[in-house]
Amino acid sequence: QVELVESGGGSVQAGASLRLACTTSGRTFSRAMMVWFRQAPGKERELVVGISRSGSTTHYADSVKGRFTISRDNAKNTAYLQMNSLKPEDTATYYCAARSTILTDNRFYTAFNDYPYRGQGTQVTVSS
């Protein structure tokens, strides 16, 4: 059983920074692609960022490029999402998700349900 637990959400002013963490249990972290989705009220859940199991390949949605950075620490079984220059439109529930991959598989699926391991979400609220 693999569990993902997000932390680090909160309420901030526009322009501020937050760092989210996704800590996993189990022994599969180093073999898993890690991604973050977000869902704002009344909107569909969207893929925001992703990082391959090796860390060599990343994915960023256009809306967060240059502001968000995903990283991973395999020794700590944790993936991080550093969010800078936050905007009110970044307000959403952020979900961590993962899927086990082979080393050469760097496909970032855009459907949340394509990731077998999913967290419960952490709220990020950005006020203007």
17-45 tens-digit pLDDT: 999 999 998 778 889 999 999 999 999 99
Q: Are 7 and 78 in contact (CB under 8 A)?
A: no
Angstrom distances, CA of residue 123 to CA of 52, 57, 70, 96: 24, 26, 17, 12
Map residue 84 onto helix, strand or coil: coil
Rounded to the nearest 5 percent, the helix, strand and coil shares of the chain are 10, 50, 45
Length of the chain: 128
Q: Are 82 and 30 in contact (CB under 8 A)?
A: no
Task: Kindly tell me if the per-residue pLDDT of 47 is higher than 90.
Answer: yes
Q: Are 117 and 99 in contact (CB under 8 A)?
A: yes
pLDDT of residue 25: 87
pLDDT, tens digit (0-9, with 9 covering 90-100), for 77-123: 999 999 999 999 999 999 999 999 998 899 999 999 999 999 999 99
Instruction: Give the residue with greater pLDDT, 51 vs 27.
Output: 51
